[in-house]
Amino acid sequence: MKMANNPFGKMPGGLGDLMKQAQKAMEDAQKVEAELDEARVEGQAGGGLVKVTATGKADILTIKIAKEVVDPEDVEALEDLVTLAVREAVDKANSMREERLKSVMPAGMGSGSGLGGLF
């Protein structure tokens, strides 16, 4: 029995090209993900009294708290400042990730594409 040739590779502008674009997009997305591991963002609260550093993937690396904001009588205020700084860092990381992935994805394949969270 003779096996048929792959018709997808011979279709100009067809499924073969689409598959090549998808493969390139996946490779580019993997590069972006590696870059995001190295990228750093910072969130601040209280005028810089609390600073949070995170990766571009929103992994928290450091939390710095100025001594003058530490008040044993008002722990809740410090908790609020830390929470705000973490949120800001995570928001910045998520925005960075979305923008960088959007720049390498073909139209219609961005992070909201429903591809199971791949992008």
CATH code of residue 92: 3.30.1310.10
* Predicted model pTM: 0.71
Q: pLDDT of 99-119, one tens digit each?
A: 998 888 766 555 444 444 444
DSSP letter, residue 67? G
In a domain, 7, yes or no: no
Averaged pLDDT score across all residues of the chain: 84
Q: Give the count of domains, the chain.
A: 1
Mean pLDDT for the stretch of residues 37-63: 97
pLDDT value, residue 21: 82
Query: How many other CB atoms sit within 10 Å of the CB of residue 2?
Result: 4
Indicate whether 26 pLDDT > 80. yes
In a domain, 35, yes or no: yes
Cβ contact 79:101 at 8 Å: no
pLDDT band at 18 (very low <50, low <70, confident <90, very high): confident
In a domain, 3, yes or no: no
Mean pLDDT for the stretch of residues 49-69: 97
In a domain, 19, yes or no: no
In a domain, 10, yes or no: no
In a domain, 5, yes or no: no
Cβ contact 26:106 at 8 Å: no
Domain with 82, as residue range(s), is 28-101
In a domain, 12, yes or no: no
Mean pLDDT for the stretch of residues 30-34: 92
In a domain, 37, yes or no: yes
